[in-house]
Amino acid sequence: MRCGNCCRSIGHILPDFDTGNGTCKHLQNNLCAVYDTRPGICNLETVAELVCDSRFVEHTLRACLALCRRFGDEEGVKKLEKTLKKAQIF
């Protein structure tokens, strides 16, 4: 899913990248302009490998769901609710 919602909520996580409204300065056309060199915190696969357990997955999915709700991304909400139900988390 390339929703970009995380990249529009970085104020507390990557303050140096914040354009002032929580959106990353590298988010262009809903894609990361520095994808190959993005900070480690932006690479969920790397983070998941470091802290791979079911709680990390659950927290990540719940954070994504909250962001989709915040930005009115109904498609994202449906997909995440379905994933959480499938994983018997929701």
Which of residues 56 and 90 has its CB atom nearest to ligand SF4 in the complex? 56
**Dmax (CA) of the chain:** 38
Tell me if 17 contacts ligand SF4 by CB under 6 A: yes
Q: Is 53 exposed, middle or buried (0-12, 13-18, 19+ CB in 10 A)?
A: exposed
Tell me if 67 contacts ligand SF4 by CB under 6 A: no
Among 24, 64, 65, 80, the residue binding ligand SF4 under the rule CB under 6 A is 24
Tell me if 7 contacts ligand SF4 by CB under 6 A: yes
Report helix, strand or coil for 28: strand
| Binding flags for ligand SF4, 31-60, as an x/- string (CB under 6 A) | -x-x---xx--x------------------
Give backbone dihedrals phi and psi of 33, rounded to 5 degrees, phi first.
Answer: -75, -15
